[in-house]
Amino acid sequence: MEKRYAHLVKRLEVRQGPGGALPSQLIWLDSKSLEGVELNFGGGDHLGTGYWHTWAGSHTHPYDEVLLFLGLDLNDITSLGAEVAMELGPEQEEHIINESCVVVVPKGMPHGPFTTLSLERPFRGCHILLGPEYKVEWQPREKKPPKTTGDKYGHLIKPLRGRVISPADMGIGPGNAYQLVWFFGKDLEGLSVNFTWGFYKGCGIWHRERGKSLAHVHPFDEILIFLG
């Protein structure tokens, strides 16, 4: 018998990535595969050092974006295990990412280029683009102005450090995350999005009260993404 909601469970599309300093495999979700939800999500694991987008300098999107730099140390969700140089704004203000963090990129703001300077272990790079499809405008690499220093855009970088909780240890449910971070719109410069990222290792129910498993609802669309 066909299940009523089976169409809401989506097998992740895996695309071939550029490789090098960028992932060799990418997962990709957009409104076409998300039942019309106006969101684009993609990403993969970075295995090498070097310049990310060899064909371009900075780029822009017509939608707000959140970039995720996520370490894969299962003992410390805040540890990135890499150093990435990132340039933000028309001034090409350089920032060095060396811990797990998210970066808010307002629509139309130039960002990039990106360069992985050092790599102790692979890390995961993802984006959440608040639009129905992935749209990008690339600037030629030869037109990239000299990078600058400063902290005009430093507030757009949000470390995971100081935000880690352990729902499993809090008694919420043994199957819930043992390390988890949660970002709300107020943490993301007012963007209309919130998300969690966590590591899970236990079996059992995720949400409970007085020993009973709890179903729940939200007033907004939600996407649950299960990643190895």
pLDDT of residue 128: 98
Chain centroid to Cα 211, Å, comes to: 33
Scored b (16 or more CB within 10 A) or e, 25-52 reads: ebbbbbeeebeebebbbbbbbbbeeebb
Mean pLDDT of the chain: 93
Tokens for 25? 């495999």
Structural domains for the chain: 6-159 (2.60.120.10), 163-215 (no CATH)
Per-residue confidence at 144, pLDDT binned at 50, 70, 90? low
> pTM for the full model?
0.93
Q: What is the pLDDT of residues 74-100, one digit of tens each?
A: 999 999 999 999 999 999 999 999 999
User: Please, are residues 154 and 75 in contact by the beta-carbon 8 Å criterion?
Assistant: no
As a whole-number percent, the residues of the chain with pLDDT over 70 amount to 96
Cβ partners under 8 Å of residue 176, min gap 6: 167, 168, 198, 200, 202, 206, 207
Q: What is the pLDDT of residues 173-222, one digit of tens each?
A: 888 999 999 999 999 999 999 999 999 998 988 887 666 667 888 999 99
Q: What is the pLDDT of residues 150-173, one digit of tens each?
A: 899 999 999 999 999 998 888 778
